[in-house]
Amino acid sequence: MILRAASALVSSSLHDGRPPTQRELDALRTASVTYVRQLPRAQAGLIGAAMIMALMRTDQLDEAKQLAEVLVTGEPFPGDRDLPLTVLLAAGAALAELNIGLADGVTALRYALRIEARARESGDPRWWHRALGLLAAAHAVNGEFADSAAARAAMDEIVRAEGWETDRAEYMAAVAEGIEAFSRMDEQRAAALVPRMRRLVETDPSARSLADLLEAVALALAGESAKSSALATKVVQGVTQPDGPGLVRGQALALQAFLLLTGGEPLRALTLLQRAQPSPSHFICPAGLRAVAFLQLREDRQALEATSACKRRKVDHNLWSLPLVLLTRALAHMRLGNTSAALRNAGEALAHAEGSRLRSILRLFPGGELHELRAFAQKHSPQLASAMQASREGGEPVTADARQLVALPSLTKRERIVAMQLRAGLSLPRIAELLFVAPSTVKSHTLAIYRKLGVHSRAEAVQVLERAGFYEL
């Protein structure tokens, strides 16, 4: 029974697959891990992959993750090159899908790339189609829209070559296409995706909440804010699918906040986001949306504080949401008079936007904030102003090199360490204790910093360094 159920669920993820029965899903969700590990390796691999998938179908992501850690280490079922290729593909696909559900696009991409190569070698178009869908979704979650589009184009080639129907979406490819449609504010693409998703729901009820979310996105882009918000609320509350994917519910909540902010209701947006937590790698990043609300309320320092954690983890922050974080920081710094930090953050926002063109982000500022920033950029960096205008108009942005927009003071390594401590308000003797040097050494470094900056006090030094973006590094 359990092996038959596993085969049914794995097959259901392929083109023209049919969902397993509720009895089969229940059998997989309640199967004993101890029992499964005692089975022959090929059977255990297939059943383990299906168990992970079954848990994900009811949004039991924590349980699925724990199961993956028990059954899988490193490469899917390492050392089992002699296993049937179908088992290796099923295991890799389950792990890629799990990490997409967890919004861990980096890990998902690692698995997706591996199984895409194996699926292509297998000669089975159904598995190659499935692998490409996972690859498209992983790239989209990472904010890599050009690569995601390339994977979807390869899927279309397979569909044409095999003569498959084109009026039904593939789940993972729909995730990718929905993300990109919203990012580009592409109303036509979003609207065209909705009926294909509804057709998918007819054969795969687990896609219902995703279909509702994508319809809510299409309504938002069509200017039907009230209808969009109502449908997004149903997704968040699980009205039509109580066990819908948590990632989909998180995106629906973000859409609700987006609609409130574009409608100029920052206080309601802050209330809505009060308990919202970021997903791994900040694919869903409430901090950026909170910062927009604070900017609309002219609470500029609060906007910086809201995104301070995102700034600290900028290297591994999701590329899809990072441009919003950087742009809000640019606006806040501009208003606070921190010129270099504002220019650098704005330049980085454009550099990280890739193919998204910032169009969805730009709509979050209905109160003239971006007009302020463009006027500011025109005065200090015409190149950056041109890039912003191109992004707003929907053309390819002329990427401004943020490194060319910043002129940080030329300080020695030791002087930079002391400069960091100056902002903390510590006395020179205390700084000397922390650095294990004599107070006279700290005083000498401090005077050198003042001389290089052309100032005469600690307060002036800190102010100049803030405006240069020194403390943002």
pLDDT digit string, tens, across residues 279-313: 877 888 899 999 999 999 999 999 999 999 888 87
Q: Does domain 2-166 have CATH number 1.25.40.10?
A: yes
Cβ-count burial 36-47 (b if 16+ within 10 Å, e if not):
beeeeebebbbb
Q: Is the pLDDT of residue 258 over 50?
A: yes
Over residues 270-286, the pLDDT tens digits come to 999 998 988 877 888 89
176 Cβ neighbours under 8 A, 6+ residues apart: 133, 136, 137, 139, 140, 148, 151, 152
By C-alpha distance, which of 386, 418, 400 is closest to 323?
A: 400
By C-alpha distance, which of 150, 215, 207 is closest to 181?
A: 215
By C-alpha distance, which of 344, 384, 364 is closest to 289?
A: 364
**185-190 own/partner pairs: CB under 8 Å, 24+ apart:** 185/221, 185/359, 185/360, 185/363, 186/221, 187/218, 187/221, 187/222, 190/214, 190/217, 190/218, 190/221
Q: What is the pLDDT of residue 259?
A: 94
Q: What is the pLDDT of residue 383?
A: 67
Q: Is the pLDDT of residue 414 over 90?
A: no
With a pLDDT cut of 70, the percent of the chain lying above it is: 88
Q: What is the reported pTM?
A: 0.75
Q: Answer yes or no: are the C-beta atoms of 145 and 183 closer than 8 Å.
A: yes
79 Cβ neighbours under 8 A, 6+ residues apart: none
Q: What is the pLDDT of residue 449?
A: 87
Regarding predicted confidence, which is higher, 109 or 71? 109
3-state secondary structure of 144: coil
369 Cβ neighbours under 8 A, 6+ residues apart: 295, 296, 331
Q: Is 282 left (phi over 0), alpha (psi -120 to 50) or beta?
A: left
Q: Is the pLDDT of residue 409 over 60?
A: no
Mean pLDDT of the chain: 83
Q: What is the pLDDT of residue 404?
A: 40
Q: Answer yes or no: are the C-beta atoms of 105 and 142 closer than 8 Å.
A: yes
Q: What is the pLDDT of residue 273?
A: 94
CATH number corresponding to 413-472: 1.10.10.10
Task: Identify the top-confidence range among 176-185, 233-242, 352-361, 364-373.
Answer: 233-242
For residue 301, the one-letter residue type is R
pLDDT band at 371 (very low <50, low <70, confident <90, very high): confident
Over residues 226-250, the pLDDT tens digits come to 999 999 999 999 898 888 888 899 8
Q: What is the pLDDT of residue 398?
A: 38
Q: What is the pLDDT of residue 413?
A: 65
pLDDT band at 94 (very low <50, low <70, confident <90, very high): very high
Q: How far apart are CA 128 and CA 305, in angstroms?
A: 45
Over residues 159-210, the pLDDT tens digits come to 999 999 888 888 999 999 988 888 777 889 899 999 999 988 888 888 899 9
Q: Is the pLDDT of residue 406 over 60?
A: no
Q: How far apart are CA 287 and CA 258, in angstroms?
A: 13
Give the mean pLDDT of 149-164: 93
Q: How far apart are CA 342 and CA 335, in angstroms?
A: 9
Give the mean pLDDT of 95-114: 87
Q: What is the pLDDT of residue 80?
A: 53
Q: What is the pLDDT of residue 217?
A: 93
CA 53 to chain centre: 22
Q: How far apart are CA 47 and CA 45, in angstroms?
A: 6
Q: Is the pLDDT of residue 75 over 60?
A: no
20: DSSP letter: P
Q: Is the pLDDT of residue 327 over 70?
A: yes
Q: Answer yes or no: are the C-beta atoms of 90 and 49 closer than 8 Å.
A: yes
Boundaries of every domain in the chain: 2-166, 182-262, 264-405, 413-472
Q: How far apart are CA 346 and CA 98, in angstroms?
A: 34
Q: Answer yes or no: are the C-beta atoms of 342 and 370 closer than 8 Å.
A: no
DSSP of 39-85: S-HHHHHHHHHHHHHHHHHTT-HHHHHHHHHHH--SSSSTT-TTS-H
Between helix 208-221 and helix 225-237 the angle, nearest 10°, is: 160
φ, ψ at 185 (rounded to 5°) = 55, 45
